[in-house]
Amino acid sequence: MEQRHLGRTGLRVSRIGLGTLTWGRDTDEHAAAEQLKAFWEEGGTLVDTADVYGGGEAEYLLGRLMERLVPRRDLVVATKAGSVLEPDRRFDCSRGHLLAALDASLERLGTDHVDLWQVHAFDPLTPLEETLQALDLAVSSGRARYAGVSNFCGWQLAKAATWQQAAAGMRTRLASTQMEYSLLQRGVEREVLPAALDLGVGLLPSSPLGRGVLTGKYRSGTPSDSRGASETMGAFVEPYLDDTASRIVDAVATAADGLATTPLEVALAWVRDRPGVVAPIVGARTTKQLEAALSVEGLSLPDEICQALDDVSAPVHRYPDQDWSTL
């Protein structure tokens, strides 16, 4: 699998990443082992997890599998911290919480460092400089090799990167930002992606298949074994089952028919090759689903197909994104 640099860093990662959101919940240890081995054998290196996935079980499973199945040195392990299950807040990005969470992640993973440590989301109750100081401490102590953020909007990403550059003694620079990005969700193109490109921050798209909808599996209804039919994930899928999404899915299916490939490959190739994108993170419940995604490696979409998909999925960005002085 082709490797790409993560932002303006020397860290190289596979251009498809393996997500572990379902590990320890919908994906048991046997299935997780099959996924990781298949991913590794195809040359995949980037494995993305978080301290809250499966209540910590995803990290624990990954640690067990690195110990006995796939060499730790062959993987780029990325995890996140900052999400909390508290009645009065969803995120805690204070220095104390983040560093304690990192130590707990390292224990579950059975390693002395992670390759990429990410703040899971912006915390409005903690000064941003305190959060960034925690990232700097993690990197300077060797517990993390690189640092990134997740779910930061454009101004939050720009403020964080600018503060790092300006702060005296701050050596850590953001390597990445992880955001949802697909043909069904192009909101990052408004401000996040331009900021990332300007700042040299690599984009790691999550849900690159539109929460599974872009595979075409929901065109004739909701399959009983799909996330859309799940009590825990149904509400996650439902927003992408409207008429607008249906038109985009139909266009993807038409492109797939013309290229003699699958809608999954078309949708994944589109986001993989967008400017600024480093590696879409694919979360599969089964090894079969993962193998279908990994088969995209040999596919490059023709320019006319990309343009057609761009047109049918184009988000509406007016003022101030357009040049208002010419209107």
Which residues does the annotation mark as catalytic?
Answer: 53
Give which of 167, 118, 120, 172 is closest to 141, Cα–Cα: 172
For residue 190, the Cα-to-chain-centroid distance in whole angstroms is 18
> In whole angstroms, how far apart are CA 131 and each of 82, 104, 119, 122?
10, 18, 8, 9
CA distance 165 to 101: 25
Phi-psi map region of 12: left, alpha, beta (phi>0 left; psi -120 to 50 alpha):
beta
